[in-house]
Structure 1
């Protein structure tokens, strides 16, 4: 199971990186009609959620990332101090290495606060890989819409 979860993170994170190819900082900040967020928020949210749930209490991100990228936040709410797309991409790459280095035995550990269908860290990590794939789809959609507008 551990290899499958790490393989899913590999496939999804590669997909994210591929989707971000050719995205300029200007493109990353466009919020098209019908969307609540932009590409930069999607990238930051993937990063923040991964850090919060895969490395609880051991995260390396600045605390203010919660103000920018936690569930329910919106890019229109705060623009001061939001990290650049370039920084977020570098942090995604670094986080990916740490995900791949999670010890195999950690995936069998019981969660201190289990949820329905998610009792072990491995089950939760699999859900996080799914979560990242959903946001990859949002990045791909946003990119197509922004490119169609000629930004």
Structure 2
């Protein structure tokens, strides 16, 4: 029961993340403001990739995404290229459907060979239950980053408009 609730929390976080991106252009979603090392689009794709790493790679079972789609946004990466609307739409779709897949895979008990890992938070994940609880926290951390990035992106534009009108 707790597992299902955690997955529902992740679903709500991801839907809120998608809502946060609405109204921003693909260019705005790719902006890396001064003082930051990534952008909103990268943060979103990263949470999808991290779920695959934390659950499937550590669970020693095949990922539900092509491994290149996971490694491109794994921990330690940063935006290397412009993230297109099509690519972002792909990750938006996968953000939700992969939660459904995970629930099915947990019920099928495929994660019986989990490789423990200690996270950057200092928490040791030793099974799929720990991984699900952790990626929910991780998703929310990156949602918070995206909120800050959104404010920074909009402030850059307001400053540009303000500077333009002052000339």
- TM-score bracket, shorter-length normalisation: 0.7 to 0.9
In structure 1, stretches of 5+ residues that fail to align are: none
TM-score by length of structure 2 reads 0.74
Q: How many residues align?
A: 149
- Structure 1 window deviating more from structure 2 (24-33 vs 14-23): it is 14-23
Higher CA-based Rg = 2
Work out whether residues 30 and 83 of structure 2, in 8 Å CA contact, stay in contact via their aligned partners in 1.
Answer: no
Give the TM-score of the pair, scaled to structure 1.
0.81
> What is the RMSD of the two structures over their aligned residues, measured on CA atoms?
2.7
User: What is aligned with 1:140?
Assistant: 147
Task: Give 1:79's aligned residue.
Answer: 81
Q: Is the counterpart of residue 93 in structure 1 residue 96 in structure 2?
A: yes
Partners of 1:117 and 1:138 lie apart in 2 by: 23
Helix, strand or coil: the match of 2:126? strand
Trace 1:1-151 onto structure 2 (pairs within 5 A).
Answer: 1-56=2-57, 57-75=61-79, 78-79=80-81, 84-104=87-107, 106=109, 109=112, 111-113=114-116, 115=118, 117-150=124-157
Q: In the aligned structure 2, how far is the partner of 1:63 from the partner of 1:105? A: 22
| Higher relative helix content | 2
SS at 1:148 equivalent: helix
- Measured after TM superposition, the shift of residue 147 of structure 1 is 1.5
TM-superposition CA deviations, 1:33-80 (whole Å, max 9, x none): 1100011110111111111222233213233335531211121xx328
